[in-house]
């Protein structure tokens, strides 16, 4: 990352920084009419806002486009492989309000980066959006490292109803390697869980979500154990598929094969919605899925619904998934990793082929 | 008539110059060079407005023979992909590798440095009659704006 020599107290005069400016996802910019274009087979119902500082982010996560030690200027770098255009926060708030009149905005999500100004600036951004569009639900995607109980309460009192936390690594070891001490980053596994559980207590069941990246080197057992734990604690798990960001430390790490991602998506759905028990899953020596003992009817119904393969995201005010992050984990010309819409029968046929489930599925009967 | 058609989408203005021909549905432009007899091909502003800022461009290699309507390559925007179809038949004699390295050039210099390929046409006289000509341009632009808005591709 380029070294910024202007002190933080003077940066607002020289740079377009938060809270007066925010970055916005390309899909949201298209949806608000700020960028030309359209989104293949989907709409973008969640307006994702990201804080902007000249230093980027002080954390150093190996896979992230905003990482402190990624080469290049932060303003030129991509985040999840596409540019995040920068706009004045007030303009964005006005556009959200305008769109809310024409067509309900599903949700707004304000995302923090690791910076000493991030808490105060996030509150300011939330206030500006809330003033212009008071009906629109707001989620905060926070950096747990910056928070404590008092700050979580401030966020809740500002009108935020959902907290998202990037856990990203499925185990402490993966977390440390990708985000924690082994990266010279500030994040700590135990403290993340402290904040996740405190947020769960303050915001209520399923109103806290953990982001989990599939493909950082974890095993299936690591993931499924985490899914069982999250289910038991009534915390939502949002899956992401690792996709190497050019210029980051993991740019050469291969993506996981599609069949693995599909199986992970399916098992997660069965754990969360069909009471799949830990005993129904057998692992090989490497800790990966070797056998799934699950009833034919249950599994086929889940697959045919298409629901396991949709993006995991926060709901709108009616409980319908709003944050679908279209083409966030893959390019629009590539196969879908998560579907930003409900897959149709044709999509489901492709999913079945990709998943190769018969290799690991021992069909049982419902009565078994 | 004006040598340029200007139209507005949202707050932004776009142009369609009248010095060339256009594919009726695919929004590819074709500029005939009287000196060489070759035709430079690109995508017009309305087609690009519906796609958005380009992230990737792929083009067929030089020497490829294409028929009218066949693919010249693909464009990929941040959240959308589109095929590039050839408005005429012929042989690709040059391709603009600058756009492969910097796809933003197609958005930024649409009718100049953002060209995609040069084709040596095999039947320009007949096929150009199937394209939108200078005289038809105002009516065609209006009808295409209406079609794109109805499809929800532009505001």
Q: Is residue A255 within 8 Å of residue A334, measured between CB atoms?
A: no
Q: Shortest CB distance from A40 goes to which of B9, B49, B80?
A: B80
Pick from A89, A90, A75: nearest CA to A22: A89
Pick from A269, A247, A270, A266: nearest CA to A258: A266
Pick from A239, A229, A232: nearest CA to A337: A239
Domain of residue B36, CATH code: 2.40.50.100
* Sole residue written with tokens 């794109």: B148
Domain enclosing residue B31, as ranges: 4-151
CB contact (8 A) between residue B52 and residue A332: no
Prior bond of A46 cis (ω within 30°): no
A283 lies in a domain? yes
Q: Show which residues on chain B lie within 8 Å of chain A, measured between beta carbons.
A: 9-12, 48-53, 55-56, 74, 76-81, 152-155
Average pLDDT over residues B52-77: 93
**What pLDDT is recorded for position A146?**
96
DSSP-derived secondary structure for A197-257: HHHHHHH-TTSEEEEEEETSS--HHHHHHHHHHHHHTT-EEEEEE--PPTTSTTTTSPPPP
| Token pair recorded at residue A16 | 């377009």
Please report residues of B whose CB lies closer than 8 A to that of A38.
50-52, 79-80, 152-154
CB contact (8 A) between residue B51 and residue A331: no
Q: Residue B58: pLDDT above 60?
A: yes
Q: What b-and-e string marks burial along A34-72, b requiring 16 or more CB atoms within 10 Å of the CB?
A: bbbbbbbbbbbbbbbbbbbbbbbbbbbbbbbbbbbebee
A2 lies in a domain? no
pLDDT along chain A (368 residues), means of 10: 63 80 93 89 94 87 79 57 85 96 94 94 97 97 97 97 97 95 92 98 98 97 98 98 89 94 98 97 97 96 98 96 91 92 97 96 72
**How far is Cα A85 from Cα A268, in angstroms, rounded to an integer?**
33
CB contact (8 A) between residue B48 and residue A333: no
Q: Shortest CB distance from B9 goes to which of A26, A36, A327?
A: A36
Residue A38 touches partner B, C-beta closer than 8 Å: yes
What pLDDT digit, counting tens, does each position of B72-128 carry?
999 989 888 888 999 999 999 999 999 999 999 999 999 999 999 999 999 999 999
A1 lies in a domain? no
A3 lies in a domain? no
Domain enclosing residue A159, as ranges: 8-364
Pick from A358, A363, A353: nearest CA to A258: A353
Q: What domain count does chain A have? A: 1
Which residues have CB under 8 Å from A116's CB, separation 6+?
A8
Q: Shortest CB distance from B153 goes to which of A38, A331, A333?
A: A38
A92 lies in a domain? yes
Q: To the nearest whole number, what is the mean pLDDT of chain B?
A: 92
| Token pair recorded at residue A321 | 């998934």
CB contact (8 A) between residue A36 and residue B152: no
**What pLDDT is recorded for position B153?**
85
The interface residues of chain A toward chain B in range 327-356, judged by CB-CB distance below 8 A, are 327, 331-333
Dihedral sign (CA A43, A135, A143, A321): negative
| A116 min Cα distance to partner chain B (Å) | 31
Dihedral sign (CA A228, A234, A235, A237): positive
A56 lies in a domain? yes
Q: What domain count does chain B have? A: 1
Domain of residue A72, CATH code: 3.20.20.70
Residue in chain A closest to B48 (alpha carbons) equals A37
Please report residues of A whose CB lies closer than 8 A to that of B49.
36-37
3-state secondary structure of B40: strand
| B49 min Cα distance to partner chain A (Å) | 5
CB contact (8 A) between residue B153 and residue A26: no
| A58 min Cα distance to partner chain B (Å) | 27
| A326 min Cα distance to partner chain B (Å) | 7
B43: number of CA atoms within 13 Å, CB side?
A: 30
Average pLDDT over residues B2-19: 83
pTM (2 decimals)?
0.88
């Amino acid at each position: 990352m380029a070294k910024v020599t202007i002190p933080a107290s003077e940066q607002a005069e020289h740079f377009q920084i938060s809270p007066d400016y925010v970055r916005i996802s390309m899909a949201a910019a298209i949806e608000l009419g700020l960028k030309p274009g359209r989104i293949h087979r989907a709409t973008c119902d969640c307006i994702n806002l990201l804080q902007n500082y000249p230093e980027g982010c002080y954390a150093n996560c190996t896979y992230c486009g905003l990482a402190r030690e990624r080469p290049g200027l932060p303003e030129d770098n991509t985040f999840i492989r596409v540019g995040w255009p920068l706009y004045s926060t007030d303009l964005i708030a006005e556009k959200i309000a305008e769109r809310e009149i024409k067509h309900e905005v599903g949700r707004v999500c304000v995302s923090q980066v690791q910076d000493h100004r991030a808490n105060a600036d996030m509150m300011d951004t939330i206030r500006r959006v809330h003033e212009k569009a008071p009906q629109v639900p707001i989620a905060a995607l926070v950096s747990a490292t910056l928070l404590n109980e008092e700050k979580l309460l401030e966020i809740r009192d500002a009108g935020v109803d959902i907290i998202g936390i990037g856990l990203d690594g499925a185990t402490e070891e993966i977390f440390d390697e990708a985000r924690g001490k082994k990266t010279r980053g500030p994040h700590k596994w135990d403290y993340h869980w402290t904040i996740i559980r405190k947020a769960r207590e303050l915001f209520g069941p399923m109103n806290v979500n953990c982001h989990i990246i599939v493909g950082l080197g974890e095993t299936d057992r690591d993931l499924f154990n985490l899914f069982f734990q999250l289910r038991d604690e009534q915390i939502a798990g949002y899956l992401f598929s690792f996709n190497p960001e050019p210029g980051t430390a993991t740019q050469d790490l291969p993506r996981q094969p599609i069949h693995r991602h599909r199986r992970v998506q399916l098992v997660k759905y069965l754990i969360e919605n069909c009471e799949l028990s830990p005993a129904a899953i057998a692992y090989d020596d490497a800790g990966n899925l070797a056998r799934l003992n699950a009833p034919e009817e249950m599994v086929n119904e889940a697959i045919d619904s298409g629901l396991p393969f949709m993006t995991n995201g926060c709901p709108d005010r009616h409980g319908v998934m709003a944050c679908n992050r279209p083409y966030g984990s893959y390019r629009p010309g590539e196969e879908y990793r998560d579907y930003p819409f409900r897959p149709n029968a044709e999509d489901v046929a492709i999913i079945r082929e990709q998943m190769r489930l018969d290799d690991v599925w021992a069909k049982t009967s419902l009565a078994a | 008539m004006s040598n340029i058609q200007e139209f507005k989408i949202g707050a932004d203005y776009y142009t369609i110059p009248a010095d060339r021909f256009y594919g009726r549905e695919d929004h590819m432009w074709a500029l005939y060079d009287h000196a060489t007899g070759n035709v430079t091909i690109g995508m017009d502003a309305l087609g690009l407005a519906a796609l958005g800022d380009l992230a990737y461009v792929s083009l067929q290699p030089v020497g490829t023979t294409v028929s009218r309507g066949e693919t010249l390559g693909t464009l990929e925007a941040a959240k959308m992909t589109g095929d590039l179809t050839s408005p005429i038949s012929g042989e690709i004699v040059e391709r603009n590798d600058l756009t492969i390295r910097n796809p933003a050039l197609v958005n930024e210099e649409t009718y100049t440095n953002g060209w995609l390929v040069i084709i040596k046409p095999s039947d320009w006289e007949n096929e150009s009659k199937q394209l939108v000509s200078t005289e038809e341009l105002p009516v065609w632009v209006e009808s295409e704006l209406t079609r794109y808005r109805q499809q929800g591709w532009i505001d």
